[in-house]
Structure 1
Amino acid sequence: MIWFARSWHGTEPIQWSINLLASLTAGVYFPPEILPKWLRAIGYYLPQTYALKAAILAILRGFSLNMLLPELITLLFFVIVLFPAGAIALKYSLKISKKKATLI
């Protein structure tokens, strides 16, 4: 996220806002079903939504692994897509930091 803000200093409000939006739409504070449709749609693109749903279903409702398969498959898809994307973003960030000599 730091390379996105293009600065090492002063990114705390941006990070805080992104974390708050992710937590709200993923269902950390309350069920996403009570959110407006447009806000609920953001949660569908976050892996936290599916991880929280799987945890709630497993712990509170006693679902087995077979019953949790849709959430687990979705989480596997996120791993397959986001892990390489994160590695590429890290490589890009390190390259920029070395070029600008801002790497601590």
Structure 2
Amino acid sequence: MLTEEMMTTTEMILMTYLFEIDEWLKDKKVIQQQQAQLTKEELVTVIKNDLTTFQANQATDYEKKLQTTLTTLEALSEAQFQKMKLEILSWGPNVKHVD
């Protein structure tokens, strides 16, 4: 069962893959086009590779968030993933996401 916390964590992590965060922090929305075009399966592979790179003897908070993101993405259908991705891509640095 996916929790709201898992979905929020996943959105936060996906933002770092879909946007140039350095530019975002300067109030500029720059989409990482190559990442934005990935399917769920392709992005899961990228995140798994990143998780392997970051793993050490002790799990960090970021590693835990990557693992939560993987768990969430693996539970979503491709259609649900695409919907989430499009929603995230609609966000802007000056737009606050409010539920």
TM category, shorter: 0.3 to 0.5
TM-score (norm: length of structure 2): 0.35
Higher helix fraction (1 or 2): 1
- Please, what TM-score do these two structures have when normalized by structure 1? 0.34
